[in-house]
Structure 1
Amino acid sequence: MVVLATKLYVEGDARERSLDSLRSLVDNEIGDLDVEFELGVRHDDFPSVTIQGEDAVVARNALREEFGEIVPDLEAGETYVGTLESWDEDGLVLDAGQGEGVRIPTDELGLGPGTATQIRDRYGLVQHMPLRFVYGGEGTGAPSRLADAERDRLYEWSRGDGRLNVNSATRAEVRATLNRAGHAQDYVTVERLGLLEQSVICTEDTDPPGLLASVGEYLPAELRCVVP
């Protein structure tokens, strides 16, 4: 079984649509392999994939690579994926499936000046977004920090043409909303950050705050802009 490092936290019809979307994503990754799989959702909203078949090991590794994995125990110095649970002036807290969140102090974000809340706003970090981190480890005295690859990714966002980040919606739902609101020409693509967290990559001439103001009423979600 693989527990995927992305959350399924919506309810009702949206939950069923999200499960269908996840099933399609998993099938895209491992459908060509000699396996059968079954989806479940843990009490903490992390989805699990039970895999059986001749290619089960290959399939598990493919899902770990694509989504990241929630593991029972964290080891100091190793890189993991957690979802953004909460934040305050002093840092971010990631949910890595351990019950207690993993705190990353502001100084360990490596994303420039400001409080963690200001950095979150600057880089458009929406709640539940998966983020890679290096675990500091209890008893080591070393704090956890954002992984270098994660810092590089977020810095690249600040150098692009602008983004609108969204949670609580699948990629298909975000694309449909943009097109329905008349913004088909205002974005390049919708990049999947997690199952229910998406990043709308704007065209050079699109103003991310303006796009947010236009589509915000159609999306019952948190929306955050990245303005270069």
Structure 2
Amino acid sequence: MVVLATKLYVEGDARERALDSLRSLVGNEIGDLEVEFELGVRHDDFPSVTIEGDDATVARNVLREEFGEIVPDLEAGETYVGTLESWDEDGLVLDAGQPVRIPAAELGLGPGSPTQIRDRYGLVQHMPMRFVYGGSGGDGEPEAGAETPSRLADEERDRLYEWSRGDGRLNVNSATRAEVRATLNRAGHAHDYVTIERLGLLEQSVICTENTDPPGLLASIGEYLPAELRCVVP
């Protein structure tokens, strides 16, 4: 079984649509392998994939690479994926099956408070982020003997810096990629974005065209999406 590092936190019909979307995503990744799989959702909203068949080991590795994996125990110095749970003036808290605090000094994303950094880079709640575990316990306090706190992974910092150099983005949570695309097209913005990058199952990043104003796009479609929307303005 693989527990994927992306959350399924919506309810009702939206939950069924999200499960269908996840089933398709998993199928696209491992459908050519000799396996059968079954989806489940844990009590903490992380989906699990039970895999059986001749290629089960390969399939599990493919899903770990694509989504990241929630594991029972974190090892100091190793890179993992957690979802953005909360933030305050002292840092960010990621959910990696247990709370992992990234102190403000370990974000590595330039000046400003964690809240200001979140606004600058358009970080929406629940989006998956890579981090290097530093030995922090579940309450965010360092364990005895821990030499360094947890920090954002270099590849995560590079990704977010790249966002700030592009043509602008609108990040969304609580919606599948298909739902975001349908909303944009229905609102008359089919020509205002290049593509929609999937950040997680329910977290998407709309990459705007050169002449599209991300705040204007947010204002136009915000009423149609019961979601958190954040802009990245270069």
* Band the TM-score falls in, shorter-chain normalisation: over 0.9
Displacement of 1:47 after TM fit?
Answer: 0.1
After TM superposition, the structure 1 stretch with the greater mean CA deviation from structure 2, 127-136 or 33-42, is 127-136
Q: What TM-score comes out, normalization by structure 2 length? A: 0.94
Look up the match of 1:43.
43
Displacement of 1:162 after TM fit?
Answer: 0.1
Q: In 2, Cα distance between the equivalents of 1:198 and 1:188?
A: 13
CA RMSD of aligned residues (A): 1.4
- Provide closer, same or farther for how the CA distance between residues 214 and 137 of structure 1 changes in structure 2, counting only shifts above 3 A: closer
Q: In 1, Cα distance between the equivalents of 2:14 and 2:67?
A: 20
Q: What TM-score comes out, normalization by structure 1 length? A: 0.96
- Provide closer, same or farther for how the CA distance between residues 83 and 211 of structure 1 changes in structure 2, counting only shifts above 3 A: same
Q: Which secondary structure does the structure 1 equivalent of 2:87 belong to? A: strand
Displacement of 1:137 after TM fit?
Answer: 10
Asked whether the 8 Å contact 1:137–1:143 carries over to 2, the reply is: no
Displacement of 1:65 after TM fit?
Answer: 0.4
Q: Which secondary structure does the structure 1 equivalent of 2:39 belong to? A: strand
Q: In 2, Cα distance between the equivalents of 1:180 and 1:89?
A: 38
Q: Which secondary structure does the structure 1 equivalent of 2:81 belong to? A: strand
Structure 2: 5+ residue runs without aligned partners? 141-147
Asked whether the 8 Å contact 1:187–1:200 carries over to 2, the reply is: yes
Structure 1: 5+ residue runs without aligned partners? none
Displacement of 1:154 after TM fit?
Answer: 0.2
Q: In 1, Cα distance between the equivalents of 2:150 and 2:33?
A: 36
Q: Tell me the number of residue pairs that the alignment of Structure 1 and Structure 2 aligns.
A: 223
Q: In 2, Cα distance between the equivalents of 1:218 and 1:181?
A: 9
Q: In 1, Cα distance between the equivalents of 2:94 and 2:138?
A: 14
Displacement of 1:138 after TM fit?
Answer: 9.9
Asked whether the 8 Å contact 1:75–1:137 carries over to 2, the reply is: no
Displacement of 1:90 after TM fit?
Answer: 1.0
Q: In 1, Cα distance between the equivalents of 2:186 and 2:233?
A: 24
Displacement of 1:5 after TM fit?
Answer: 0.1
Q: In 1, Cα distance between the equivalents of 2:166 and 2:106?
A: 24
Look up the match of 2:144.
none
* 4+ runs deviating over 2 angstroms: 136-139
Q: Deviations over 1:16-46 (max 9, x none)?
A: 0000000000000000000000000000000
